[in-house]
Amino acid sequence: MPPTIITNDPGEALAFARGVGRIVYKPLYLGMHERDGEPASIWVKEVFPAELDESIAGTIHLFQARCDKVADLRVTVIGDHVFCVRIESKDPELLDWRYDYDTLSYSVVEPPLELIEGMRTYLKRFDLVFGCFDFAVTREGAPIFLECNPNGQWGWLEDETGLPMTAALADLLERGTR
């Protein structure tokens, strides 16, 4: 996992940025809000030390070292099922694939075996039976863990790939989670 900090202290954020180099801001919660009367969202965005001012003190923020990546993996774990989709963008600078779905392509890939045990351990530790794990993929092909979304979206991936995620979730709900 890249170095990560959650803080509302401007000095701490600035020290983190100076210590790790290029950083991104990631929202902790994607609540609904409007900008000029239009629905808006907060995307993962690169931030620079000069932007880390006193406004940080207003609420908690997540900053993470920026990963140089060529693709993303969204690994959806539903009970015993593990569904892995590689997401690639035509825009190599796209930090957050949610920003522009029109530039994306999807391919079903085998989840890296070394990650499956860790994802299952993570879910068990937090008493979860579902999670969407996000990984950045480096030029060398190495996956870098970014986060797990315990309520992550997955339906569009089923539409794009044909993976039977809905069936896996229905089976899990039908037989119970324990």
pLDDT in single tens digits along all 178 residues of the chain: 889 999 999 999 999 999 998 888 887 766 666 778 876 667 778 888 888 889 888 888 889 898 888 999 999 999 999 999 999 888 767 667 676 777 889 999 998 888 999 999 999 999 999 999 999 999 898 999 999 988 888 888 999 999 999 999 999 989 876 5
- pLDDT value of position 46: 82
- pLDDT value of position 176: 76
- pLDDT value of position 123: 95
Please give the structure tokens belonging to residue 143.
């996956």
**Which pTM value belongs to this model?**
0.84
78-82 long-range contacts, Cβ below 8 Å, gap at least 24? 78/129, 78/130, 78/165, 78/168, 78/169, 78/172, 79/129, 79/130, 79/168, 79/171, 79/172, 79/177, 81/165, 81/168, 82/111, 82/116, 82/119
Which amino acid is it at 121? T
Q: Which domains does the chain have, with CATH numbers?
A: 4-65 (no CATH), 71-175 (3.30.470.20)
Please give the structure tokens belonging to residue 147.
């986060």
Please give the structure tokens belonging to residue 119.
């994802």
